[in-house]
Amino acid sequence: MNPFLRKRASKHVGQASRLPTPSGFALTLILLAAVALSGCSTAHYRKSADREAAKMIAEKAPAVPNMDPAFTIEQDKKILLEGYPTATNEEAAFGPDKAVEVGASMITLDDALSLGVKHSRTYQNQKEQVFLEGLSLTLARHRFTPIFSAGASETYQTRVLAVEEEIERLTGTQLVRETQVVREQQHSLSGRGNVGGDLLLRTGGRLAVDFTTDFLRFLTGDSRWALSSRLGASLTQPLLRGAGYKVTMENLTQAERNLLYALRDYVQFRREFSVDVATSYYQVLQNKDEARNAWLGYQNFKQNVERETAFAAEGQRTQTALGQLQQAELSTETQWINAVRSYKQSLDQFKILLGLPTDARVVLDDRELERLQIIHPNIEVNEAVKTALETRLDLQNARNRFEDAARRTGVAANAFLPDLNLILRGDIDSQPGNRPLALDFETARWTVGTDINLPLDRKAERNAYRSSLIAYERAGRNLQLAVDQIKLEIHDAWRALDQARRNYENSEIGVKLSERRVEEQELLTELGRGIARDLVDARKDLISARNQRTSALIRHTLARLQFWRDMGILFIQQNGKWDEVKQAQRGENGVEGPVETLKR
């Protein structure tokens, strides 16, 4: 081998042995990537999502009457019951366990409503559903803003070359080869970086801009850099399929309306939730009252049995009469045991409704029953129906969903059109000489063209269009059903309200009659002229009459709340309490507002 060539080959081999290994370069890339990824934490993304969703909800909230002005999905998971007054009186109706509720937190109906708003699981789920729709709207709107992206790629390459072959390739001279061929390792680093932006136009067009930079460096021999860049922009505008404002904006339009529907559902839920809490609250108190009545009846029967037993021992009563009283005593004791169990079970269920643990020591305020009174609405049923048809939020959703279905049929019909796109593109390269930021506008290239696609298979589009027509017909039927259902609910609520008022009036008379019967039978029994069966029947009827009176009063109160709710004019405060409408006045556009309210 030529000594000069051997010396040069040895020089190249020596340089290759001192080249840096790729491990340091890879480590550097990993560190840079870690720093970039740690720039935005998960806490940052959560706060950003909460802020944007809250903005969407606050923007739509004024369009929904009685929307919670301080809406938030943040929930205080710590339940504090220490601030409420505690029960101090023993409950005789619990028999041996009469002191079981002493020291328990006593909550009023207002307290229960406030606790339910803060801790109820179903209430929190409903709020989160509104939040999720607001979150979806943020993404739908984001699609019509400039969306930027950036990326980079690097490649480290090692190649083994025969030095003689490289020299022959460079000089064009055939060399005299020896048995051993000298080889050289060649190392190079190449990469590409790009940054771009994309904007979806409301006409269906898409504008894209990208800037790309390529680099190459040889790490062996002559370590030079080679840099070049390109700026490109393109506009793709559909002319037939997918073109037009309505088609392009369909997803955003539906997302806007979905948030509005969720807000209406939430307001309607708040009304239903307050009525449900009141219903459950009064049911617990009614069960406790029935337990007390059963206990009093049981104690009275025990006294009668003791007295009649003494008379029977003197031969003044027959064993048959005494046996009837003893059987009635056992029956009344069973009734009392069942009543206590029903009360405790309903109280535990009420705790679950409010989101409280079942082992929370809570007792309801009996004075809530004393505050109840018969207040009958002063409005005709036909006026109530007209009001409901204008104010019910679920009916407004049904109407809007019918409009959505009609709009989607047009979008589905657009899919039958062929794909015809107008494409405009321009590219500008950088100037030579490793000047990536110096663009050579004199060499700019511009292209204009069209892209057409004529698919022959339209079965998917056919099925989608036919499905949209069916959905449109179904939405129309659902709207008609919603109207009829509301009319039925108003009439049924009116009848229930009237029935509850009459039942209460009758129960008042029934209690007075039963009390007189018991007094009469007690007097006859003391005189030795009474009949055991008559006394048993009189006491049972008195217990039943008292339970019916309490039940009728509660049913009328709840029926009135349900009537206002079904009319769509039960206004709920932030803490779950309601402003109950006592009288309502209709204007040209429906209810102008409550003329007189009863505040919880």
Q: What is the pLDDT of residue 324?
A: 77
Last residue of a domain, one of 427, 454, 481: 454
Nearest to 497 by CA among 402, 600, 380, 350: 380
Q: Are residues 496 and 551 in the same domain?
A: yes
Query: Does residue 295 sit in the same domain as residue 387?
Result: yes
pLDDT surpassing 70 at residue 558: yes
Q: Which two tokens stand for residue 236?
A: 């793709």
The Cα–Cα gap between 4 and 18 comes to 22
In a domain, 567, yes or no: yes
Q: Is the pLDDT of residue 560 over 70?
A: yes
Length of the chain measured in residues: 600
Least confident of 40-54, 264-278, 310-324, 400-414: 310-324
Domain-embedded: residue 594: yes
**Structure pTM?**
0.82
Domain identity same for 449 and 466: no
What region does 556 belong to: left with phi over 0, alpha with psi -120 to 50, or beta?
alpha
Question: Among 51-55, 92-96, 575-579, 594-598, whose mean pLDDT is lowest?
Answer: 594-598
- Return the half-sphere exposure (C-beta side, CA atoms, 13 A cut-off) of residue 248: 18
Banded model confidence at residue 143, pLDDT cuts 50, 70, 90: very high
Write the pLDDT tens digit of every residue in 351-364: 999 999 999 999 99
pLDDT for res 435? 72
Instruction: Give the pLDDT of residue 5.
Output: 39
With beta carbons less than 8 A apart as the criterion, state whether 100 and 86 touch: no
Please indicate, yes or no, if residue 32 is contained in any of the structural domains. no
**Based on the domain organization, do 486 and 363 belong to the same domain?**
yes
Whether 508 and 550 share a structural domain: yes
Which helix H or strand E contains 571, and what residues bound it?
A: strand 571-572
Same domain, 444 and 470: no
DSSP state of 156: E
From residue 522, give the alpha-carbon distance in Å to each of 304, 313, 515, 525. 9, 20, 11, 5
For 5-37, the pLDDT digits (tens) are: 344 444 433 333 333 334 334 334 444 554 455
Least confident stretch, 86-100, 126-140, 147-161: 147-161
Q: How far apart are CA 111 and CA 368, in angstroms?
A: 12
Whole-angstrom distance, CA of residue 473 vs CA of residue 382: 29
Question: Average pLDDT for residues 233-254, to the nearest whole number?
Answer: 94
Q: Does 446 share its domain with 309?
A: no
Q: Distance between CA 304 and CA 309 in Å, rounded?
A: 8
Least confident among 185-189, 243-247, 468-472, 575-579: 185-189
**551 with 499: CB under 8 angstroms?**
no
Strands (DSSP E) found in 379-444: 419-431, 435-439
Q: Which of 428, 454, 480 corresponds to the end of one domain?
A: 454
Residue 83: the pLDDT is 86
pLDDT of residue 415: 93
- Which residue in the block uniquely carries the two structure tokens 């002229």? 529
Average model confidence (pLDDT) for the chain? 83
Distance of CA 591 to the CA centre of its chain: 29
If asked whether residues 477 and 593 sit together in one domain, one would say yes
Provide the domain count of the chain: 2
Same domain, 79 and 184: no
Q: What's residue 27's pLDDT?
A: 38
Burial class (CB in 10 A: 0-12, 13-18, 19+), 175: middle
- Give the span between the Cα atoms of 18 and 8, in whole angstroms: 16
Percent of the chain with pLDDT over 70: 82
Same domain as 296, residue 156:
no
Tens-digit pLDDT profile for residues 179-214: 455 566 667 777 888 899 999 999 999 999 998 888
Read off φ and ψ for residue 374, nearest 5 degrees.
-80, 110
Lowest mean pLDDT among 225-239, 289-303, 573-587: 573-587
Whether 385 and 364 share a structural domain: yes
- Give the CATH number of the domain where residue 555 resides: 1.20.1600.10
**Structural domain contains residue 59:** no
If asked whether residues 316 and 363 sit together in one domain, one would say yes
pLDDT digit string, tens, across residues 396-454: 999 999 999 999 999 999 999 999 999 999 988 877 776 777 777 788 899 999 999 98
Residue 19 lies in a domain: no
Any domain includes 18: no
Q: Kindly state whether residue 549 falls inside one of the protein's structural domains.
A: yes
Domain that holds residue 215: 147-201+205-241+419-454
How high is the pLDDT of residue 588? 37
